[in-house]
């Protein structure tokens, strides 16, 4: 099964929550203020967000008037087009112009950070890149062990310290190792919760400072991993992390387990952050680049 087919399958719950309701509202109906209100309610319930929903509905009304659309059956294609426009163009995770390319991965515990790092390491390893992983989540029991399993699986090198040690010290050692060993890519795991009184965001800022002091313009990418099943809660998390760590891309995991896939649109609209990678399964190949057009087509797939 290709990734598009997996995406179609993975979006089943969102499709049932969103698209089937839209199609039910539109089928055989004449356009009316009430119909647009119903559409608005459906979009908001799928976690597309109030701001995104208002923009979609306003554009929908304008286009229906301009294109002299009178029947609900003709609205679906315009709605798809407006959703795709809001998501914008595909924004890939691009290698940094100089090595090592440092990717810092942040997010709360349980969203799939370590698994995402492992899958990325495997993908880069298959491309022939020399990868180093840094076990910067030193506060969660077994986090380093989990990363070690992924390191062995992906033939990446691992830098780790004792549990409970200073995450910034791990980042420092990892940066030195990446420079000395001429690694292509350094991926740094971070904590999603601390067991001390230290503020998590301050800890993440400290890690970032250490990295940028040792390598100019690094980290070149700060990826925030969000669990799609949390919907609007994920959006709130994103606001806090973006402010503290200068996040420049989102990895959205567990899209196959949620009816709230519309959160992709809310993230783009409210945070101006691109979703760069999405996960629709457990396999290494189930983490793929996010393509807005494919996403919308898969969502509305019959």
Query: CA-CA distances (angstroms) from residue 108 to 170, 180, 216, 279?
Result: 19, 31, 27, 17
Which pLDDT value is given to residue 159?
Answer: 98
Instruction: Domain count for the chain, please give it.
Output: 2
For residue 65, is pLDDT > 80? Answer: yes
Find all residues with CB under 8 Å of 69, minimum gap 6, and list them. Answer: 31, 63, 75, 78
Q: What is the pLDDT of residue 261?
A: 86
Same domain as 156, residue 41? no
Residues 172 and 244 in one domain: yes
The answer to whether residues 16 and 259 touch, using CB atoms and an 8 Å cutoff, is yes
Of all residues in the chain, what percent carry a pLDDT higher than 70?
98
Percent of the chain with pLDDT over 90: 70
pLDDT digits (tens, 9 = 90+) for 203-232: 999 999 999 999 999 999 999 999 988 888
Task: Tell me the per-residue pLDDT of 224-277, one tens digit each, with 9 for 90 and over.
Answer: 999 988 888 888 888 889 988 999 999 999 988 888 888 899 999 888 899 999
In this prediction, residues 195-206 reach a mean pLDDT of: 83
State phi, psi for 262 to the nearest 5 degrees. Answer: -65, -10
Q: Compute the distance between CA of residue 137 and CA of residue 205 in angstroms, rounded to an integer.
A: 14
Q: Distances in Å between the alpha carbon of 221 and those of 104, 214, 217, 262? A: 6, 15, 10, 24
Domain range spanning residue 66?
Answer: 3-87
For residue 92, is it within any domain? no
Find the radius of gyration of the CA atoms of the chain: 21
Among 87, 115, 134, residue at a domain's last position:
87
User: Does residue 120 sit in the same domain as residue 50?
Assistant: no
Other Cβ atoms closer than 10 A to 60: 20
pLDDT of residue 219: 97
Instruction: Please provide the average confidence, as pLDDT, over all residues in the chain.
Output: 92
| pLDDT for 1 | 65
Residues 266-291, mean pLDDT to the nearest whole number: 90
Q: What is the CATH number of the domain that holds 21?
A: 1.20.120.140
pLDDT band at 67 (very low <50, low <70, confident <90, very high): very high
What pLDDT sits at residue 152? 96
Q: Is the pLDDT of residue 90 over 80?
A: yes
Q: What pLDDT, on the 0 to 100 scale, is given for residue 257?
A: 84
Higher pLDDT, residue 199 or 214: 214
- Mean pLDDT over 284-297 rounds to 92
Alpha carbon separation from 132 to 77, 129, 213, 223, 296 (Å, rounded): 45, 10, 19, 17, 35
Domain boundary among 87, 112, 135: 87
User: Is residue 96 assigned to a domain?
Assistant: no
Residues 63 and 159 in one domain: no
> Does residue 122 lie in a domain region?
yes
Q: Are residues 81 and 139 in the same domain?
A: no
235 within 8 A of 261, measured Cβ to Cβ:
no
pTM of structure = 0.92
In 3-state terms the chain splits into helix, strand, coil percentages (rounded to 5) of 55, 15, 30
Q: Are residues 81 and 154 in the same domain?
A: no
- CA-based nearest residue to 286, from 164, 122, 176: 122
CA 44 – CA 53 distance, rounded (Å):
6
Same-domain pairing of 150 and 293: yes
């Amino acid at each position: 099964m290709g990734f598009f087919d997996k995406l179609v399958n993975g979006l089943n719950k969102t499709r049932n929550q969103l698209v089937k309701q839209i199609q039910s509202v539109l089928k055989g109906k004449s356009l009316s203020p009430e119909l647009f209100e119903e559409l608005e309610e459906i979009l908001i319930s799928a976690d597309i967000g109030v701001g995104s929903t208002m923009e979609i509905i306003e554009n929908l009304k304008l286009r229906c008037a301009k294109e002299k659309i009178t029947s609900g059956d003709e609205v679906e294609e315009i709605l798809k087009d407006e959703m795709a426009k809001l998501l914008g163009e595909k924004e890939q995770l691009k290698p940094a112009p100089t090595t090592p390319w440092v990717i810092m991965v942040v997010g709360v515990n349980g969203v799939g950070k370590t698994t995402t790092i492992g899958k990325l390491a495997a993908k880069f390893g298959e491309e022939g890149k020399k990868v180093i992983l840094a076990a910067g989540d030193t506060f969660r029991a077994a986090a380093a062990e989990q990363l070690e399993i992924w390191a062995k699986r992906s033939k990446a090198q691992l830098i780790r310290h004792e549990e409970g040690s200073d995450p910034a010290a791990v980042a420092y050692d990892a940066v030195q190792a990446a420079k000395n060993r001429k690694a292509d890519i350094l991926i740094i795991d971070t904590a999603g919760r601390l067991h001390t009184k230290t503020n998590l965001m301050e800890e993440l800022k400290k890690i970032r400072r250490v990295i940028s002091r040792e390598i100019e313009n690094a980290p070149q990418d700060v990826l925030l991993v969000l669990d799609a099943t949390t919907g609007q809660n994920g959006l709130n998390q994103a606001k806090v992390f973006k402010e503290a760590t200068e996040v420049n891309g989102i990895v959205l995991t567990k899209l196959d387990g949620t009816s709230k896939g519309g959160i992709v649109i809310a993230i783009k609209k409210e945070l101006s952050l691109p979703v760069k990678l999405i996960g629709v399964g457990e396999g290494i190949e189930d983490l793929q680049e996010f393509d807005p057009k494919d996403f919308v087509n898969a969502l509305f797939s019959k």
